[in-house]
Structures are given as structure tokens and as C-alpha cells.
Structure 1
Amino acid sequence: MLAVSEPDSNSSTLEPPATAPVRDLRRVPIHADHWYPLAWSKEVKRGRTLGVHFAGDPIVLARSESGTVFALEDRCAHRQVPLHAGVVDGESIRCGYHGWTYDCTGRCIDVPYLGRERLPNGVRSYPCREMYGLIFVFPGDAALAEERPLPDLPSVEDKAYKTRRFGREVKCHYSFMHENLMDMNHQFLHRRQMGQMRARSLGRRRGEDWVEVDYTFARMEGKQPVGEALVFGASKKDGDQDHKDVMTVRTGYPYQTLRILSSDGTLVMDLWIVYVPLDAAQRTNRTFGLLSIRRPGIPFALDLAWPLLVWFTERIFKEDRWIVEQEQEAHDKQGADWNHEVFPVINELRDLLRNCGGRTVIPIHKAGGTA
């Protein structure tokens, strides 16, 4: 029989390891090594330029005379003036100041008063792709661009669906946007559009770079609002109305999706959305969204209802934008994240965004200045 010795009163006991501080998510920059849309295709006309930003970095998008879009650092190597103020010249762009010319790779190919024998260095180029009516740019390590997948959005190209393209600038850190869409418990915010809807979580799942949650919804009482009918279809009775459709919200870093499957497994709604930081502090983002709705069996029914659907989604987005900007304002005044989250999937989402985000730290910002 083994004897159990009493602890030596003179021996020191081991202290538990110190818990590493949790990074303030609102100071975690988005990771640049992914494809991000920086403009809609229609914003960049043939033979024209467009100046955009990614997390404070100026980028010029240019559509050549052949129709190809390319992306360069939006600074001429000569005097650092913006190239978007220049001129597209065939398949290149010419600075509007001294006429220095750059091809689509950023290489300087002409300086009018030097000739072509003594050409200076060029400017940075970015991998660029055009898909789904969006211009995607890879702002990170260009060597990784080929191995990082672009989004696959079959509903956008499927004639069985009608797609709405939408987007706005929102004055908040991108993480607030992810949380807002993932947490369907905030339907009370949309009570004027959606009525007394109650979300019920069916379960959640998580992988290395993704997290998702399933919901069903019930209408508790009263007449069915127009917004609910647009999303879930018209109900046949008032009162407690359960929707057997399943909504799945997923953050697959850095993108987010919301899909609704009917009881027979048909995909009736397919939303893809991404939040692109514009400024260096990453406290303003430009949202790009593609919302695809399956056409019903009645010809042209969705086309006739489309203006109402646009009106409804704009009202929902307006309320969401207002509330996340209020969250950002509270964070600025407090100088830290004081909220107390109790919904497990949101805590998992926050861990995911911290782990997948950039490794640097955005400086603390307080109302009235930067500390």
C-alpha cells in the first residue's frame, strides 16, 4: 500500500500560471492576406481610374482600353501625387503631373523627359480579379494570392435567383458587423419591420477559420408584418406561427453568409457580405453585399415585389448601421470593450476574429483623439 505523505509546511506551493490578457477585439486589424472587393465593376469605367482605400492604404483601380482592370499603389513614385488623378493610356496609366507612365504590373515604362533608357523604379501592384460585378484586390502578400480562394457564389449566376447588390459605409470596426449578423437575438431592434419575431438557436459549429449557427423563428402574436412575409413567405394564420425554414449564419473569415433553407431543403435566400476597412484605424468599413432570392413558381412575381424588398432591406440595414455605430461610439468613450456577452456563438465568433485577424494592434482611440 502506498503511503500518502503530508505536504511539507516549509515547501513553497506552485502558483497557477498567469492568464494571458485577451486582446481587445476592436483593436485587432483585419488580415490583409485575403481577397477583398474594393469597388463595384460599374464604378470603374473603361479608360478611367478610381481611387480607393484598404485599411488606410491608397490604391488606384484602372480599367484599360481593352477593358481589363488592374490595381496599383495610388502614389506616383516621383512626387507621391495620387495616380487616380492621372490618365489611362491604352493598357497603362500616366501620372497627371509629369506624365510618368506605369503598366499594369506597376513598372515605370516611360518618363517623357528621360526617355526609356534611364527609367526609375515603379510602384507596387496588387493582384486583381473581377467577378460577380465586383473588383477584388489582394492587399496582403502577393505570393499568397493564388492559394487563397476567391468566394464561390453560384446563386449570383443562377437564373433561378434574382440578386440585389448593396453596400454602404459604416462607421465602426468590422467586428461589430460580424456580431450583428451572427446574433439573431437582436430582432427586437427590427420590431417595426419584423413584428414580434423570436429566434431560436438550433446549434452551432466551429472550425479553424469559421463558425456558424442555425436558427428557426416563431411569430409570437399579431398580424404578420410585410417584412416577415418577404423573408419567410405569407403565413396562413395569425397567432403563434413557427417557421420550419432554417437560417444558417456563417463567418468564414473574412466573409459572412446568411442562407435560408425551406423545409424541403430548397435554398430560398443566399446572402454573401464582407466588411472592408477603409481607414488606418479600421473604424470605418465599406460593406459589399450580394443578396440572392429564389424566384417563386409564379412568373414575374419576384420582379413585381422587388421594389418592396429593396425598401424593406434598406430599412433593416439602416437600423443595423445605427446600432453598430452606437456600439463603436461607446467603445471610443470607454477606451476599451466593456460589454458582457452571454451568447456562446458570439463569444466563439470573437475568438475566431481575434485568431484570424492581423497580429499588429490598432492604437487605442478615445472620443476627441487618439491615445
Structure 2
Amino acid sequence: MSAVQSQDNLASEASVRDLRRVPIHPDFWYPLAWSKEVKRGKAHGVHFAGEPIVLARTESGRVFALEDRCAHRQVPLHAGVVEGEGIRCGYHGWTYDCSGQCVDIPYLGRERLPNGVRAYPCREAHGMIFVFPGDATLAEQTPFPEMPSVTDKAYKTRRFGRPVKCHYSFMHENLMDMNHQFLHRRQMGQMRARSLGRRRGENWIEVDYTFMREAGKQPAGEALVFGSSKRSEDQSDSSVMTIRTGYPYQTLQIRSSEDSLVMDLWIVYVPLDAQQRTNRTFGMLSIRKPKVSLLLDAAWPLLVWFTERIFKEDRAIVELEQAAHDNQGADWNHEVFPVINELRDVLRNCGARTVIPIRAVEDLA
């Protein structure tokens, strides 16, 4: 084996080991837009891992998804016109139905029509539009995300999400690693997480936490999430937080000492670009209503402010992690927390088998 071949093999092995170059697996249901973003009779352009996709809501209210290009001159269909139950390209008026079949060319009629464009399985639920970007034959047998708290009237739910400039794996690690509470010290005070144990399956991992805080005035953020408390220094909270990555989704639940679910978060990170260095988060945060529900309504603006502050800090730190990775050209992390190391194994094993090329990453620098 030549020295050049040896170097190429080492580079290839390093790429496989590097989680930040593992693409997300496409054979799952991913939300690509909020329902409110796709108006009746309108088209909306989105992306999944570099693939342009157009979402269109017909006159009947149905939403369908096609690749966002006209088979004629490749211009984006989202710049076209939704008519009836189909979409018409804005350039020459080629018309496609919800299956992607070309059904009309104005100057040729309905004879000798081309095959059309790719259609994606599409479902609307929980205020989001989900698309199955992988093998369409697997869509029906692939479990659809369940969010029982979102439809339960005992909970009040807020939807949130922003683009974040990092690989999706950084997001999974950030949420699952509660040891980073120091980052949120201004919002959460001197809280300290203690891991109670973890469990792992083939495509999932979860960990339980309890929290301790130092004596002193309880920050408003802590009171919002865990409730008001007068615990003394180093006294453990009776609530238990369980964080789970069930690939590719993630959940965070807080249960009280009576095992009542008081907070329920569902979240997913959808890659936008082909290099998967930018993702769009879609999150659903449900809070159990107190006996006097007006109390939660009154506190809701403060809760929204608090969660946005936490998300802003998390977004800033994971984007710095991504920048460091791209500058170094490899994953130099020295992770010591067993939960995160096992999470990385799950993400690596469940991800797509291809590898984002090293050159594609370096071109971003």
C-alpha cells in the first residue's frame, strides 16, 4: 500500500468516526414548516438537507409536497401558482397534480406529457407539515411522531423554533447534557444537575436527572420550570427530568414527586443545507395547567421570555462548537460524560451510511 493510499484510508476512517459528518437519516417523518406558513392557495419553498421541496395548500385545504423544480426548465415551483388541486409553474404554466404528474402544458394540451417531478409523502398534524424525504415506500410503516400532551386540554402548549448554524448532533448533545447549566446561570441560578441513571436501546437513549441548588433567592426561571421552593442549600429537588433521544426526535419531561407530568417537550432538528451545518428546530413545549388555569395564562409571557432566553444561549454556544469543528477540520472533543458518549453512538449508528465529504466541510471555512 502506498503512502498516499494509506493517508486516504486514514482520512476516510476519520470521516466515518466523526459524528459531525454523519448525515441525518431521511427515512423518518420530519416537519418542514408550520401549518400557518402555508396559506390556502399558496406555495411555500423549504429545504431538507439541501433538497428543495415545495409545499402547496390547495383550494380544498389539502397540503402536498413536490420537489421544488419544474421538469421543463428547472425553475422553482414555489414561484408558481396553486390552482384547484395542483400547482402551475410560473414560467410556462406547466401544471402538476399532488402526485407530481404533469397534467397539462398550455401550448401542447394533455397529450405527450412528460413524467413530472418527484412527490413526497406529506401529512399535517400538531400545527406542522411533515414530509417523508426518504424512501417513499417506507412512509406508511414508519411510526409517526406522537405528542399526546399537545392535544390534551390539561396542557397549554407553545410552538417555537429557529434556524441554528450547527450539525443536528450538537443539538441532541446540548439538550441531553444538563451539566451545562452553568451556561444558564443568569436564568437558572446555581442549579446543579445529578444524573440518576440512564437506559439505552438500539435507536434510543434516555437519562434521568434531579437538581440541587445553593441557598439564596430562587431565580424566576427555576420557579417557572420546577415550581417555587424554599429548599435549603444542596437539598435535592423532588422532581425528575427525563431526557430521551428516540432517533431522530428528542423529548424532555419533568415529573413531580407524585409522578405527574408537569412539563413535556418534543423537539426535532431538521438539516437545511447539503452539508448539514444549519438546522431548523421545531419544538412543542407543553405545560400542565394548574387548578386555576388563569394563573398559567398570566405567567405565559414570562415563560415565553424565559424559554427564548435559554434557547438563545444554547444556540450561541452550539454555533461556537460548530465553528470550532470547521476551523479544526475534525472533532477534537474530549467528552467524559458517559451519557453523551452513548448518545453519540446512537446518533452515529442511526444516521445515514454516507459521509459528508471533508472537502464540502472545508469549503465552508
Confirm or deny a common fold (TM above 0.5): yes
Q: Distance in 2 between matches of 1:102 and 1:223?
A: 62
Instruction: Give the percent of matched residue pairs that are identical in Structure 1 and Structure 2.
Output: 80
The answer to whether residue 234 in structure 2 is matched with residue 244 in structure 1 is: no
Q: Distance in 1 between matches of 2:185 and 2:46?
A: 36
CA contact (8 A) 2:208 2:243 kept: yes
User: Which residue is equivalent to 1:212?
Assistant: 206
User: Which residue is equivalent to 1:76?
Assistant: 70
The answer to whether residue 169 in structure 2 is matched with residue 175 in structure 1 is: yes
- What SS is found at the alignment partner of 2:129? strand
The structure 1 residue matched to 2:114, chosen from 97, 110, 120, is 120
User: Which residue is equivalent to 1:157?
Assistant: 151
Which residue identity lines up with residue 40 of structure 1 in the other structure? W
User: Which residue is equivalent to 1:4?
Assistant: none
- What SS is found at the alignment partner of 1:162? strand
Deviation of 1:182 after TM superposition, in Å, equals 0.4
The answer to whether residue 23 in structure 2 is matched with residue 29 in structure 1 is: yes
Q: Distance in 2 between matches of 1:136 and 1:298?
A: 35
Deviation of 1:146 after TM superposition, in Å, equals 0.4
CA contact (8 A) 2:215 2:231 kept: no
The answer to whether residue 249 in structure 2 is matched with residue 255 in structure 1 is: yes
The answer to whether residue 34 in structure 2 is matched with residue 40 in structure 1 is: yes
Deviation of 1:363 after TM superposition, in Å, equals 1.7
The answer to whether residue 329 in structure 2 is matched with residue 346 in structure 1 is: no
Correspondence list, 1:226-305, <5 A: 226-305=220-299
User: Which residue is equivalent to 1:56?
Assistant: 50
CA contact (8 A) 1:235 1:241 kept: no
What is the CA deviation profile of residues 269-307 of structure 1, one whole-angstrom value per residue up to 9, with x for unaligned ones? Answer: 000000000000000000000000000112311000000
Deviation of 1:118 after TM superposition, in Å, equals 1.2
Higher mean alpha-carbon deviation, 124-133 vs 294-303, is at 294-303
Q: Distance in 1 between matches of 2:68 and 2:340?
A: 37
What is the CA deviation profile of residues 122-176 of structure 1, one whole-angstrom value per residue up to 9, with x for unaligned ones? Answer: 0000000000000000000000000111111110001100001000000000000
Evaluate the alpha carbon distance shift between residue 219 and residue 370 of structure 1 in structure 2; reply closer, same or farther with a 3 A threshold. closer
Q: Distance in 2 between matches of 1:364 and 1:194?
A: 39
The structure 2 residue matched to 1:307, chosen from 298, 301, 309, is 301
Q: Distance in 2 between matches of 1:355 and 1:74?
A: 30
The structure 2 residue matched to 1:201, chosen from 195, 219, 222, is 195
Which residue identity lines up with residue 262 of structure 1 in the other structure? S
User: Which residue is equivalent to 2:5?
Assistant: none
Q: Distance in 1 between matches of 2:275 and 2:27?
A: 18
CA contact (8 A) 2:275 2:361 kept: no
Which residue identity lines up with residue 106 of structure 1 in the other structure? G
CA contact (8 A) 2:121 2:131 kept: yes
Evaluate the alpha carbon distance shift between residue 365 and residue 340 of structure 1 in structure 2; reply closer, same or farther with a 3 A threshold. farther
Q: Distance in 2 between matches of 1:240 and 1:221?
A: 7
- What SS is found at the alignment partner of 1:97? coil
Deviation of 1:310 after TM superposition, in Å, equals 0.3
Deviation of 1:121 after TM superposition, in Å, equals 1.6
- What SS is found at the alignment partner of 1:332? helix
Q: Distance in 2 between matches of 1:365 and 1:342?
A: 29
The answer to whether residue 66 in structure 2 is matched with residue 91 in structure 1 is: no
Q: Distance in 1 between matches of 2:108 and 2:157?
A: 51
Evaluate the alpha carbon distance shift between residue 243 and residue 307 of structure 1 in structure 2; reply closer, same or farther with a 3 A threshold. same
Q: Distance in 2 between matches of 1:366 and 1:141?
A: 25
CA contact (8 A) 2:266 2:283 kept: yes
The structure 1 residue matched to 2:137, chosen from 134, 143, 157, is 143
CA contact (8 A) 1:219 1:242 kept: yes
Deviation of 1:220 after TM superposition, in Å, equals 1.7
CA contact (8 A) 1:332 1:366 kept: no
CA contact (8 A) 1:258 1:270 kept: yes
Higher mean alpha-carbon deviation, 160-169 vs 239-248, is at 239-248
CA contact (8 A) 2:254 2:263 kept: yes
- Segments of 5+ residues of structure 1 without an aligned counterpart are 1-17
User: Which residue is equivalent to 1:326?
Assistant: 320
What is the CA deviation profile of residues 226-273 of structure 1, one whole-angstrom value per residue up to 9, with x for unaligned ones? Answer: 000000000034533421110000000000000001010100000000
Deviation of 1:23 after TM superposition, in Å, equals 1.5
User: Which residue is equivalent to 1:357?
Assistant: 351
Which residue identity lines up with residue 86 of structure 2 in the other structure? S
Structure with the largest fraction of helix: 2
User: Which residue is equivalent to 1:3?
Assistant: none
Which residue identity lines up with residue 363 of structure 1 in the other structure? P
Q: TM-score, normalised by structure 1?
A: 0.93
Which residue identity lines up with residue 165 of structure 1 in the other structure? R
The structure 2 residue matched to 1:110, chosen from 104, 108, 128, is 104
CA contact (8 A) 1:166 1:290 kept: yes
CA contact (8 A) 1:333 1:367 kept: no
Q: Distance in 1 between matches of 2:261 and 2:323?
A: 37
- What SS is found at the alignment partner of 2:78? helix
CA contact (8 A) 2:20 2:167 kept: yes
Higher mean alpha-carbon deviation, 230-239 vs 30-39, is at 230-239
- What SS is found at the alignment partner of 1:119? coil
Evaluate the alpha carbon distance shift between residue 45 and residue 361 of structure 1 in structure 2; reply closer, same or farther with a 3 A threshold. same
CA contact (8 A) 2:275 2:360 kept: no
